[in-house]
Amino acid sequence: MQNIDLYNGRNSREFNQHFDRSDPEFFSRMSNSYNDHDYGRKNASGLFTLILALVIISFTIGLVVGIKFAGGADRKIVDDKTMSAMQNLSSKVSDIIKDSSSMKPASEIYPKAEYPFVIQLSGEYSEADVRNVAQLLSTKGHTVIISQNNGKYRVFLGPYKNESDAKKTLSEISLYKQQDIATNAQIIRRI
C-alpha cells in the first residue's frame, strides 16, 4: 500500500528532488490537440490570404485590360491643343506678374474731377484701432482710404462719383454697431 494522506491526497513521505511528480507526456499529448481558438485563427488567416490573393489578381487583370483598351503605352494622355494652352497659360501668368510692378497711383485710378466725394469718419485713430476699423469696413465691401498725420490716423470711405452714392453708403455704415464708427461721419468734397 502506498503512503498517502487521505485528508489532502498527498504522499506523506518526501520524494527526491530528481523525481518527476507530473506526467512527462501530458504536455506533448496536449500539443497535438486542437481547440476552438486555434481552429478559428487558422480559418481567419486562410481567409485573409484568399482575399489578398483576389485583390492582387483583380488589380493585375485591371491593369492589363486597361492598358489594352486604352490604346497601349504609346498613346498620349493630353492632346496637343490642351498642351499648348497650358504652356501659353504659364507665359501669360508670368506676364501678369511682371506687369504688377507698374501699378497706377490712386490719383490716376480715381481722378478728383470724376470722383469728387468721400466720407470722412469722425475722430483720429491709433494704429491698432485704424486696422480694426479698416478691416471691418473692407470686409463689408467698402473702399477704405487711410491718411496719417503726426502718428494719428484718419479713415475715409470712397471716393464716389456723386453725392447720392455717398449718402447711400453713409446710411449703410450708420447701421454698423461694432465700433460706433458712423457717429459724426460726414460727406466732404475732395480738394
Tens digits of residue pLDDT in 118-128: 999 988 888 88
Q: Is the pTM of this model over 0.85?
A: no
Backbone angles phi, psi at 164, to 5 degrees: -65, -35
Concatenated DSSP letters of 92-157: HHHHHHHHGGGPPPHHHHS-TTT--EEEEPSS-B-HHHHHHHHHHHHHTT--EEEEEETTEEEEEE
| Average pLDDT of the segment spanning 100-128 | 81
pLDDT for 183: 81
Tens digits of residue pLDDT in 8-44: 666 666 666 666 666 556 555 555 555 666 777 888 8
Domain ranges of the chain: 37-73, 107-189
- 107-189 has which fold? Alpha-Beta Plaits (3.30.70)
